[in-house]
Amino acid sequence: MSRDGDELRIGFLTAVQTRDHAFVGGLLVTDRFGRPLEFQCTTPVKPNRTQELLYGPTLEPFILGDLLGKALLARIGVKPTLVVTDRSEMLALRNIVSVPVVTLCGDRVPDAAPTGNAAPTGNIESDPLEVTIGQHRFRAHDDFASDVTRVAGLTKKLASDANLQEPLERVADALKETMATVSAKPRVA
């Protein structure tokens, strides 16, 4: 059996919005080298007007996390040990799954940042919920601060220059390609 990160499976989770305002989610699970192990996507989900009114600002986190993210993680055969997303609304998924979920914080880590593998950002002024993985900073869910340490441990075998944003872009492109070739009627949330 392999040890210390050889079993790292990263789930890259994102969603795109269609022209008719439905959401489609996608999850790509890769090995630590970014090679695809499995990909799943959802059918389009479109909230109705009543749901928009009743859910208010919690509608997108509900659709993206509770509906799409949860369904994708339940359906995927190769279970990730870490979920990375670029949609902050999907961070709420962490409340219903047992693996760490982190969201991309934005731009690349400046060149002046310490190189090396994932580790909590050592800067006193930095957010204690942030962790640097390769070229980018990610943020853990407010209620799961211990995920920062878990993520640092899980990803210590990744290259210091790993780009975890690029697989998210692949997922978004795959979703757009799928939606262009499939004319599925959105289901109501």
As a whole number of angstroms, the distance between CA 189 and CA 179 comes to 18
Please tell me what DSSP assigns to residue 123: -
Tokens of 101: 């979920």
As a dihedral over the C-alpha atoms of residue 183, residue 62, residue 75, residue 171, rounded to 10 degrees, the angle is: 60
Residue 2 lies in a domain: no
As a whole number of angstroms, the distance between CA 133 and CA 116 comes to 9
Mean residue pLDDT across the chain? 85
Paired sense of beta strands 23-30 and 187-188, if any: unpaired
Task: Check residue 119 and give its pLDDT.
Answer: 43
CATH number at residue 176: 3.30.2170
- Low-confidence stretches of the chain (pLDDT beneath 50): 1-5, 112-125
Phi/psi of residue 106, nearest 5 degrees: 140, -130
- Look at the chain and report how many structural domains it folds into: 1
Q: Could you report the per-residue pLDDT of 39-61, keeping only the tens digit for each?
A: 999 999 999 999 999 999 999 99
Expressed as residue numbers, the domain containing 140 is: 10-184
Task: Check residue 60 and give its pLDDT.
Answer: 93
Tokens of 34: 């970014």
Task: Check residue 5 and give its pLDDT.
Answer: 44
Residue 172 lies in a domain: yes
Residue 160's nearest CA partner among 152, 170, 169, 149 is: 152
Task: Check residue 187 and give its pLDDT.
Answer: 62
Residue 1 lies in a domain: no
